[in-house]
Amino acid sequence: MCPAPEVRGYFAEDSFSLNWMSPQPVPEKKSTSLTQLKYQVRRGDTIWGIARKFHLDEQTIRKANGLGEKSIIYPGQVLVLPCGKMATHRLAPGETLWSLARRYNVDVVHLMVWNQISDPTKLRAGETIIIPVTGSPSGRSSRKEENLSWPLKGMITSFYGPRGSEFHHGIDIAAKVGERIRAADSGVVVFIGSYPIYGKTIIIDHGAGTKTLYAHLHGFAVHKGDFVKRGEVIGYAGNSGRSTGPHLHFEVRKNNRAVDPLLYLKG
């Protein structure tokens, strides 16, 4: 099965606003069991770029579409993208994207990406939703609550909790300027920018109400809207914002409330 595509759109922080900036797949919705997606080529697309976006092999796309090494694709052309099994679900009255995520054991974020949904609260009964098949339907989320990987290996210089007259909403990990910062889990980059206190910051939405925040960075290695994998380099440690020295400030947010990251980090 094709994993969630590396889309270049964005989820506005703490909202459901979505602005698609790159071409998206045009999936078949008539069948209840799909083995492929259809993708309409846009200006600037390359086979290599499309393969990277959907985590496919370039030669797989060429073979599926009868394209040789020197074949040129053009805007408007429809390409077949071979994927694993997928399903469709017609929304019944009262159903929501969240209830579908629980029923089919998938993340809401991935359902939004596959179906180009900008606001899941505006879905109506009768609409058809594409669902990547990951296993038997389940009433539980597949996400392991306490299974985040460390974004950076180093000494913790400040823990979560009260700190003087303030409350520290994450942990600080000592670092050298330029050290690689990695995603604690797979998800969509929903914010890249600067805050007066946090300095250069990245926020990733991992679905199921979980977000992670990486602050005081020196630079970024991803873009807003990117789908990143666990362990992928997303930025570089720095000393931006209100900081007394190079380090990473790392937060875990559950339903937009900060929690102790050490309860969720493994190892």
* Same domain assignment for residues 106 and 162: no
Owning domain of residue 247: 156-263
Residues 169/258, Cβ–Cβ less than 8 Å: yes
For the chain, what is the domain count? 2
Provide the whole-model pTM: 0.51
| φ/ψ bin of 126: left (φ > 0), alpha (ψ from -120 to 50), beta (otherwise) | left
Please report how the helices 108-115 and 97-104 are oriented relative to each other, as an axis angle in degrees rounded to 10. Answer: 110
* Same domain assignment for residues 117 and 214: no
* Same domain assignment for residues 257 and 167: yes
* Same domain assignment for residues 32 and 108: yes
Task: Pick the last residue of a domain from 66, 100, 132.
Answer: 132
- pLDDT at residue 14 in the model: 31
* Same domain assignment for residues 197 and 164: yes
What are the CA-CA distances from residue 100 to residues 117, 141, 167, 187, 231 (Å)?
14, 11, 37, 19, 28
Task: Pick the last residue of a domain from 132, 167, 192.
Answer: 132
- pLDDT at residue 44 in the model: 83
Chain center to CA of 84: 20
Q: Is the residue at 14 inside a domain?
A: no
* Same domain assignment for residues 259 and 165: yes
* Same domain assignment for residues 128 and 30: yes
Distance CA(250)–CA(260), nearest Å, equals: 10
Q: Is the residue at 3 inside a domain?
A: no
Residue whose entry in the numeric block shows the structure tokens 């909403």: 169
Mean pLDDT by 10 residues, the chain (267 residues): 45 30 35 57 84 73 84 89 70 86 76 70 83 48 63 93 87 96 91 95 89 97 88 96 95 92 84
Q: Is the residue at 144 inside a domain?
A: no
- pLDDT at residue 41 in the model: 86
Q: Is the residue at 234 inside a domain?
A: yes
Q: Is the residue at 148 inside a domain?
A: no
- Closest by Cα among 3, 41, 264, 17 to 151: 264
Distance CA(35)–CA(29), nearest Å, equals: 12
* Same domain assignment for residues 191 and 116: no
* Same domain assignment for residues 113 and 163: no
Q: Is the residue at 82 inside a domain?
A: yes
Query: What 3-state class would DSSP assign to 50?
Result: helix
Could you tell me where the DSSP H helices lie in the chain?
47-53, 58-64, 97-104, 108-115
Within the chain, strands assigned E span: 25-26, 34-40, 78-90, 128-132, 156-158, 161-163, 166-168, 171-174, 180-182, 187-195, 199-207, 210-220, 227-228, 233-237, 247-254, 257-259
CATH number, domain containing residue 229:
2.70.70.10
* Same domain assignment for residues 167 and 105: no
Look up residue 120 and give its DSSP letter. G
Q: Is the residue at 5 inside a domain?
A: no
* Same domain assignment for residues 128 and 160: no
* Same domain assignment for residues 84 and 166: no
Q: What share of the chain is helix, strand, coil (3-state, %, to 5)?
A: 15, 35, 50
Q: Is the residue at 12 inside a domain?
A: no
Task: Pick the last residue of a domain from 100, 116, 132.
Answer: 132
